[in-house]
Structure 1
Amino acid sequence: MTDWWSVSLNAAVAVGTLSAASAALWVARRDGQRLDEERRDRLAAQAKLVTCSADFPDITITNHSAMPVLEIGVRLAIVCGPAERVGWVCKVKPPTHLRKPLPAHSSWTVVVEDECQRVGEGNKVETRKVTAGDKIDPELRIVDASGLEWMRYGNTAPSLVPVIF
C-alpha cells in the first residue's frame, strides 16, 4: 500500500525547494543586472560630464569633470528644424579633433558649416541652409581619462565604443 501522506509531503517539499531555488536565481540575476548598470554608470561618469551647447555656427564642448579628457572629436552635426522629424547632416569645419587633452573645467569650440544635407525622396540629395531656430546636436567622440572611447549625440547618454583588436 502507498503511504499517501509521505508522497504528499515529499511532493510539497519538492515544490518548496524548486520555488526557493527559482527565487534565489531571480534575485541573483536582478542583482547582477543592477551591478552591471552601476558599473556602466561609473565608467561613463566622466563622459557624461562632457557637454555641448550650440549657438550657430559655434558648438562649444565643455569638460565639467575634475580630470582632463584625452581627446575629443566632432565629425558632424545633426540639424533639425522646429517642425522636422528627420534630421539634416551638417559638416564641421576643421579642426574637427582636439588631439591634446582638454583640461578639467575648460571648453573647446568648433564651427559648423551653414549648409546641411539629407537624402530625400527618390534618393535625391536635398540641401538647405541652417537657420536660427534649428536644433543642432553634434556627434561627439570622447576619450576619457581612463582611455575609454565614447560616442555621444549632443547631450544624450554616452555609449561605449567597443575596442576591436
Structure 2
Amino acid sequence: MAKNLKPVALLLLMLNLCMYVILAIIGGWAVNIAIDRGFILGPGLRLPAHFHPIFFPIGNWATGFFVVFSLLAGVVGIASGFVGFTHIRHWSYHSLQPAAIIGLIAWALTVLAMGLACQEISLDRRNAKLGTMEAFTIVLTATQLFYVLAIHGGSRGPVPVERPHAVS
C-alpha cells in the first residue's frame, strides 16, 4: 500500500471525526429543543390541520428532516472515524474494506444531509446554530469524500491472495 497517503488520510480522518462530533452535538441540541418546545396536546384537543410529523420550533419546514439526517450522518461518521483509526494503524488490505465501506456510507448520509441543508438555506428563517450545522455538513461532504479517496488511493499495490496449504 502507498505509505505516502497515510498522513493525508490521518489528517482528514481527525478533521472529519472532530466535525462529525460537533455535528452530532448540535443535532442532539436541536432534537432536545424540539422535544422541549414541540406540540403539547391536552385531553380532548386535536392535532392542528397542518401538523408536521417532524416539527421543530426553530428553523423552517426543512429543519426537521435536516436535523434527523445530520444526526444520523454524525453518528455513522463517528463510527467511520473509529474504524478509520484501526485502518490507519494497520494500513493493510484487510483493514481497508471495513474502513472504506463505512466511510462511503457516512459520506452518502452526509450528501443527503447536505441536500437538505441546501433546501433549508433556500427556505431562509433559521437559527444561528443551525447555520453552523449546515456549514459543517457542506464541508464534511467534501472532506469525507477526500478521506475515502485517500484511503482508496493508498490501496494501490499487490492484493494478498490466500491459498490453501497443500496437504502431502
Asked if TM exceeds 0.5, the reply is: no
| Higher relative contact order, chain-length normalized (CA < 8 Å, sep 6+) | 2
TM-score by length of structure 2 reads 0.26
Which of the two has greater strand per residue?
1
Higher helix share: 2
